[in-house]
């Protein structure tokens, strides 16, 4: 290795964004109670996951909350060995896209199964969970 040429360090800044969740607060509240919700446009009937407070198809803003069955099949998946900076303390994880019975697709972690046993088309369930840090999230688990 050649020696690194001279440089100066920029001033350090810590960046944290406060992301408003008010319009879809119910999603996170119900998630804490074990339910995964989507929104459905009252006017045109399109189902949204992630939940949206406005309809991008007909531009209406009257939405109903709908509980998802959680029944899904794996469309595709990967095992993430090389993690980004803020996931350095996390063990490698499996990411999957599952297609729910209701037709929406969800990207989430797939847990509780050995990566070598996962197959496209496999049946899984989307479930709500509280992380060790106390945050509600959703993830896929294999169907017994």
- What is the H or E stretch that residue 139 is in? strand 136-142
Rule CB under 8 A: choose which of 34, 45, 50, 112 binds other proteins: 50
DSSP helix/strand/coil, 32: helix
For other proteins, the closer CB: 4 or 33: 4
Q: Least distance (Å) from other proteins to the CB of residue 138?
A: 8
Q: Based on the shown chain and the rule CB under 8 A, indicate whether residue 19 belongs to the binding site for other proteins.
A: yes
**Strands (DSSP E) found in 4-119:** 37-41, 47-48, 63-67, 71-80, 93-100, 105-109
Of the candidate spans 35-43, 57-65, 103-111, the one that interacts with other proteins by CB under 8 A turns out to be 103-111
Say if residues 56 and 43 touch (Cβ distance below 8 Å). no
Choose one: 39-47, 61-69, 81-89; the region binding other proteins (CB under 8 A): 81-89
- Binding flag, residue 7, other proteins (CB under 8 A): yes
Hey, which residues does 100 pair with through a beta bridge?
72
| Alpha carbon distance 113, 134 (integer Å) | 23
Residues forming contacts to other proteins in the complex (CB under 8 A) are 4-5, 7, 10, 19, 49-50, 75-88, 90, 93, 95, 97, 104-109, 115, 120, 135, 137
């Amino acid at each position: 290795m050649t020696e690194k040429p001279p440089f100066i360090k920029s001033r350090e800044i810590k960046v944290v964004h406060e992301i408003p969740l008010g319009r879809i607060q119910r999603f996170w509240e119900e998630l804490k109670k074990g339910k995964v919700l989507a929104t459905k446009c009252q006017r045109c009937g399109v189902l949204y996951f992630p939940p949206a407070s406005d309809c991008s198809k007909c531009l209406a803003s009257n939405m109903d909350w709908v509980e998802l069955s959680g029944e899904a099949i794996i469309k595709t998946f990967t095992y993430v060995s090389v993690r980004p900076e803020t996931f350095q303390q996390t063990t490698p994880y499996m990411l999957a896209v599952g297609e729910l019975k209701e037709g929406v697709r969800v990207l989430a972690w797939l847990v509780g199964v050995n990566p070598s046993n996962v197959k496209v088309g496999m049946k899984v369930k989307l479930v709500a969970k509280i992380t060790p840090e106390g945050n509600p999230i959703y993830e896929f688990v294999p169907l017994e």
